[in-house]
Amino acid sequence: MILAIDVGNTRIKTAVFEGDTILEIFVFFKTELSKKIKNILKKYKEVTYLVVSSVSDVEKDVFLEFENLVGVHFVSHNDLFPFVNRYKTPQTLGVDRMVLAAGATLQFPNQNRLVIDAGTCITYDFVDELNNYQGGAISPGLLLRYKALHDFTAKLPLLQLEDPEYFIGKSTSESLHSGVVNGLVYEISGFIEEYKALNSNFIIILTGGDAVFLAKRLKNTIFANSNFLLESLNQIFQYKIEND
Give domain status of residue 39, yes or no. Answer: yes
CB distance 106 to 100 below 8 Å? no
Distances (CA, A) of 128 to 28, 110, 120, 131, 217: 34, 8, 26, 5, 26
Q: Which of 6, 96, 128, 210 is catalytic?
A: 96
Statement to judge: residues 138 and 228 lie in one domain: yes
- CA–CA–CA angle 98, 100, 105 (5° rounding): 95
Residue 224: per-residue pLDDT: 92
Statement to judge: residues 105 and 11 lie in one domain: no
Q: Which portions of the chain are predicted below pLDDT 70? A: none
Spell out a b/e string for 116-126, using b for 16 or more CB atoms within 10 Å of the CB, else e. Answer: bbbbbbbbbbb
Give domain status of residue 238, yes or no. Answer: no
Total domains in the fold of the chain: 2
Spatial separation of the C-alpha atoms in residues 165 and 13, rounded to whole Å: 31
Spatial separation of the C-alpha atoms in residues 197 and 186, rounded to whole Å: 16
Residue 195: per-residue pLDDT: 94
Spatial separation of the C-alpha atoms in residues 98 and 77, rounded to whole Å: 8
Statement to judge: residues 124 and 226 lie in one domain: yes
Give domain status of residue 239, yes or no. Answer: no
Residue 48: per-residue pLDDT: 95
Domain coverage including residue 184: 84-233
Residue 75: per-residue pLDDT: 94
- pLDDT of 189-228, one tens digit each? 999 999 999 998 999 999 999 999 999 899 877 899 999 9
Statement to judge: residues 25 and 62 lie in one domain: yes
Statement to judge: residues 229 and 145 lie in one domain: yes
- Radius of gyration, CA atoms only, the chain: 19
Q: Among this protein's residues, is 79 annotated catalytic?
A: no
Give domain status of residue 241, yes or no. Answer: no
pTM for the model = 0.93
